[in-house]
Structure 1
Amino acid sequence: MSEITTYEKTKDSGIEWIGSVPSHWRVHTLYQLVTQVKEKNGNLQEKNLLSLSYGKIKRKDIDSPDGLLPASFDGYNIIEDGDIVLRLTDLQNDHTSLRVGLATERGIITSAYTTLRPIDTSNSKYLFYLLHAFDLKKGFYGMGSGVRQGLNYAEVKELRIVLPRQDEKDTIVQFLDEQCAQIDTLIEEAKLSVAEYKKWRASIVFEAVTKGLNPLAEMKDSHIDWIGQMPAHWGILSLKYLCSMQAGKNLVSDQIDEAGEYPVYGGNGIRGYYSKYNYEGEYLLVGRQGALCGNVHKIKGCFWATEHAVVTKNVEGVELSFLYYLLNGMNLNRYASNSAAQPGLSVNTIQNIKTVFPPIEEQIEISTYLNDICHSIDSIIENKQSLIFELESYKKSLIFETVTGKRKVV
C-alpha cells in the first residue's frame, strides 16, 4: 500500500463541495475538459448494448433488452472507451443510485444519459473518480434551482473542479485503482459470506419446521411437493386453520412522517411513522406486493399496517414464534402471482396453502431451538454487514479525500 500523507501548502478552492486543496492545484470548469457525445447509432451500425447500473457500465443482450425492439437502438448514442456516462434523470425520486460510470469499450447506450468525452484522454480515469466523488456527495441533487427531476449538459458543464499535475493524476489513479480493487474484493467476499449464512439459516429453519428435531421420528409422505417426508404424528392443515389473516389499511405517502409516535409497516418493513395505529399486540406481517413479497416480520406494540402487509395472528393451539418460522420456511414468494405490474400475494392465496403442523409441545421446542441458533447466525450476518458498510464508507472517503487533495499519495 502506498504511503499517504497530507500536502504542506493548501488554499481555499472556492468550491463548496471540495473545500481546501493543495496550493498548486488548479481550478477548472468542466466544459474546459470535456465535450458532450451525441453520436447516434444510425442504421444500427453498433450492436454492443451497454447500460449504467450501480456505477458500472455493463453489457446487455441486444436480442433480449427488457422488451425494447431493435429499431429502438437507432437513437442510442455510440460511446467509446474512456467516455464518462452520467445518469441525470429521476433526481426527485431516486436518491440512492450511483450516477457516474466509465466506459471501458465501444458500444451504444441510451441517449437519456449524458455522455462526456475528455478532450485529453489521459484525464479520463481521473475525471471519472472526481465526478464519482461528487456523486457520492450527492452533488447532482443540489445543482440547478428548486426540486429537479433531471439535469442536462448545459447545467452540468458549469461544474467547477480541481486538477493536479499530470504526474500526480497518474499516481492518484494508479493508487485508487489498486486500493478500490482490494476493497471491492473484500466487500464481495463478505457479501458472498452473508448470502451463504442466509442460505444456511433458511435450510435450518426449513428442516426444523417440516421434519422436527427428532432424527429418529417415524416419517411418512406429506404429499406436499416442497415438503416431502414429514413426521408421521404431525398433521396437515391449510394456513387459514392456523392463523387469521387480513390486509392492512391504506395510508397515502403524505400521511407518513420520518419520525412520530407509531411505526408504519408496509410489505417490506418499516416505512415511517403516523399519529394513529390500527393494531396493538404481537403479530406477524407478511409482505404481499413486490419482488420481496412473502417476507415475514414479527411486530410487537402499537403500529399501523398498510394494505401492502398481511396482518397475521396465531389461533389457539398455535405458538406465534413457531408460526413465524413456519411461514419463513414455506417460502411464500413462490406463490406470488405475476399477472400484475409486479408480483403479488392475495390473502386468499396464502390462507389456502397446505402445510405440516406439529403438536404444541413440539412447536415450543422447535421455536426455542430456532430462536437460539438463528440469533447466533443473525449476529454473524450483522457483523459481516457492518464490515461491508465500513468498507464501503472507507472506499468513499478514500476516493473523495484523494481526488480533492486531502491526502497525498507518495
Structure 2
Amino acid sequence: MYPEKEKFVEFRSMKPYPAYKASGIEWLGEIPEHWEVKKLKYCDEVIMGQSPNSEDYQLEPDGLPFLQGNADFTQLYPKPRIWCNTANKIAETDDILLSVRAPIGAVNIADQRYGIGRGLCAIRSIKTDKKYLYYIVLCLSDELNSIGTGSTFTAVSVDEIRNLPISQPRSLEEQRTIAAYLDHKTRLIDTYLAKKQQQVERWQAYRAALINQAVTKGLNPAAPMKASGIEWLGEIPAEWKISKIKHELQSLDYKRVPLSGEIRGAMENKMYDYYGASGVIDKTEAYLFDETLILLGEDGANLYSRSTPLAFLAKGKYWVNNHAHVLKPINGDIDYFVNLLESIDYTPFITGSAQPKLTMENLQNIPIPIPPILEQRAIAAYLDEQTAKIDTLVAATQRQLERLHAYRATLISDVVTGKIDMRGRKGLPENHCGADATILQPLRGKEPLRNISS
C-alpha cells in the first residue's frame, strides 16, 4: 500500500496554528486567526496579455522573447520559441505568468522580461512576497477552472482574476518563511521526481532496444549472418529474407470510416472502442472490425515524437477512423509484426512538416526483415515475456510519480493556506538532511534491471 502523507512530512513537528477563523470563502475554509483575505487586485497587479499581428512575430532572437500561451511553459520558467518587437503587454522579471485560456491555471515565473499574448496574464507582486505569491497562484487552478467560460475554449477575464480572494499572513516575514520552506521541500521532491522519471526513460529505452534487437537480429547471437542490403538494417540472420510491408501485410484502410465528434456525441449506446492514431479516443454504438489487427498511426506529431506507441494491436469489436492504418498479416505472426512495426524509424518515409503524414504508399514500400514463421513466434513469445516485466516496473514507477505529484500539490496547498503553523521555522539550508533524508525512502524503487531475463 502506498504510504500515507504522514510518511513524507515530519508532521509531529508541524502543528496547526492555535486559532482559526472563517474565511468567508467556501473553497478556502478556515484560515489562521491573524491572516487576512483580500481580493488579488488590492494586493498585487494583474497585466492581461495582448497579441500583436502575426507578421510581427519572428523565430530569430530579435526584440523581446514572446509567450502566446502556456505552450512554452516548463515546470518553473518558460522557454520561448518566438520574439517580437511590438509587444504591447510586458511581464517583468519575477512576475507570475498565469494561463488564462484552456488549459486554465498553468503557472510559471518570468525569469526575464517577456512580451505576453492573450493566452496569459502577468501577476506582479506589490504587497505580497514574490515567491509566496507564486505558491498562492499555484493553488488557484481549481477555482479558475470553475469560473472559466467559453464555447470554443474556456477562459477567464482580467476582472475575474483581479477579484480572486487570496489568504495570506499580514507579516511579510511569515510569508517569506512559508515560501522558503516550500522552496526547500519542492526542490527535494522535484529532485526525486526527476530521478524516477529518468529511471522510467531508461527502462523505456531498454525496452525499445530489446525489441529492435530481437526483430532484426533474432534470438540466437551465434546465428550466421548476411548482409541485408538495407543500410539502416545492417546484417540479418542468414535464414531470414528481406521483403516489403505490402508483400507481408494486407491493408484494410478501405474499411475505415471517420465519425465526427458531433455524431459520436449523439450516440446513446456507446460500447465499442473508437480508435485514432494513438489508440482509443472514444466509444461508438457500432463497430467496423471484429478481429485482432494491427493499427499504425498515419499522421500527427507522434510520428516523430513516439511519445506513445505508433503500432499496436486492436482486439475484439471496434471502429477505426482515418488517422490509423489498419494492417493484417498475410501469412506471418501478428505479434512479431506489431513489434517489428513499432521498432521502425519512419522518419525517411514521412511527408509534410506542419502535419506529418505516413501515407499507405510510403508505408507499403518500406523494406522489412522476415524470419521463418516458427522463429517469428519464438521472438514474439520472448518479447511478450520480457516487455511484460519492464512494463510492470514502468507502471509501478509511474504510479509513484503520480502520487508524489499529488502529494506535492497538497503540501503546497496545506502550507500556503495556513493548515500548518510555519512561524519560527527558518529557511532550510541546501544541505539540510535530518528528517528530510528519509521522507521519500518508502518510495524508492528498484534500479533498472541490467539483465531483464535473468
TM bucket, shorter chain: 0.7 to 0.9
What residue number does 2:93 align with? Answer: 81
- Contact 1:41–1:73 at 8 Å: present in 2 too? no
CA separation of 1:290 and 1:22: change in aligned 2, threshold 3 A: same
Quick one: percent identity of the two aligned structures? 29
What residue number does 1:17 align with? Answer: 27
Q: Partners of 1:241 and 1:110 in 2: how far apart? A: 52
SS of structure 2 residue aligned to 1:101 = strand
What does 1:123-202 correspond to in 2, within 5 Å?
123-135=129-141, 137=142, 139-143=143-147, 147=151, 149-166=154-171, 167-202=173-208
CA separation of 1:133 and 1:358: change in aligned 2, threshold 3 A: same
How far is the alpha carbon of 1:194 from its aligned partner? Answer: 1.2
- Contact 1:102–1:125 at 8 Å: present in 2 too? no
What residue number does 2:380 align with? Answer: 367
Q: Partners of 1:181 and 1:195 in 2: how far apart? A: 21
What residue number does 2:112 align with? Answer: 105
Give structure 1 stretches of 5+ with no counterpart: none
- Read off the aligned partner of 2:91 and give its amino acid letter: I
Q: How large is the Cα RMSD of the aligned pairs? A: 2.7
- Contact 2:35–2:167 at 8 Å: present in 1 too? yes
Alignment partner of 2:260 out of 243, 252, 257? 252
- Contact 1:319–1:364 at 8 Å: present in 2 too? yes
Q: Partners of 1:75 and 1:324 in 2: how far apart? A: 49
Q: Does 1:228 align with 2:234?
A: yes
Q: Partners of 2:363 and 2:419 in 1: how far apart? A: 56
What residue number does 1:322 align with? Answer: 336
What does 1:300-379 correspond to in 2, within 5 Å?
300-316=315-331, 318-339=332-353, 341-379=354-392
- The range that moved more, 174-183 or 100-109, is 100-109
- What TM-score do you get using the length of structure 1 for normalisation? 0.87
- Contact 2:17–2:418 at 8 Å: present in 1 too? yes
SS of structure 2 residue aligned to 1:36 = strand
How far is the alpha carbon of 1:119 from its aligned partner? Answer: 1.3
SS of structure 1 residue aligned to 2:316 = strand
How far is the alpha carbon of 1:347 from its aligned partner? Answer: 1.6
SS of structure 2 residue aligned to 1:161 = strand
- Contact 2:64–2:87 at 8 Å: present in 1 too? no
- What TM-score do you get using the length of structure 2 for normalisation? 0.79
How far is the alpha carbon of 1:59 from its aligned partner? Answer: 4.3
- Contact 1:401–1:407 at 8 Å: present in 2 too? yes
Q: Partners of 1:252 and 1:47 in 2: how far apart? A: 42
- Contact 1:261–1:273 at 8 Å: present in 2 too? yes
- Contact 1:50–1:59 at 8 Å: present in 2 too? no
Q: Does 1:405 align with 2:425?
A: no
CA separation of 1:369 and 1:57: change in aligned 2, threshold 3 A: same
Alignment partner of 2:293 out of 283, 290, 296? 283
- Deviation digits for residues 178-208 of structure 1 (CA, Å, limit 9, x no counterpart): 1111111111111111111111111111111
How far is the alpha carbon of 1:375 from its aligned partner? Answer: 0.7
Q: Partners of 2:300 and 2:280 in 1: how far apart? A: 15
How far is the alpha carbon of 1:144 from its aligned partner? Answer: 5.4
What residue number does 1:382 align with? Answer: 395
What residue number does 1:203 align with? Answer: 209
- Deviation digits for residues 11-58 of structure 1 (CA, Å, limit 9, x no counterpart): 22122322222222211001001123489999x9x9452545145333
- Read off the aligned partner of 2:145 and give its amino acid letter: Y
How far is the alpha carbon of 1:108 from its aligned partner? Answer: 3.7
SS of structure 2 residue aligned to 1:85 = strand
- The size of the alignment, in residue pairs, is 391
How far is the alpha carbon of 1:329 from its aligned partner? Answer: 1.6
- Contact 2:93–2:113 at 8 Å: present in 1 too? yes
- The range that moved more, 212-221 or 6-15, is 6-15
- Contact 1:40–1:74 at 8 Å: present in 2 too? no
Q: Partners of 2:379 and 2:297 in 1: how far apart? A: 24
- Contact 2:149–2:156 at 8 Å: present in 1 too? no
SS of structure 1 residue aligned to 2:252 = strand
What residue number does 2:428 align with? Answer: none
How far is the alpha carbon of 1:325 from its aligned partner? Answer: 0.9
Q: Partners of 1:367 and 1:83 in 2: how far apart? A: 54
Runs of 4+ in 1 over 6 A off after TM superposition: 38-42
CA separation of 1:246 and 1:73: change in aligned 2, threshold 3 A: farther
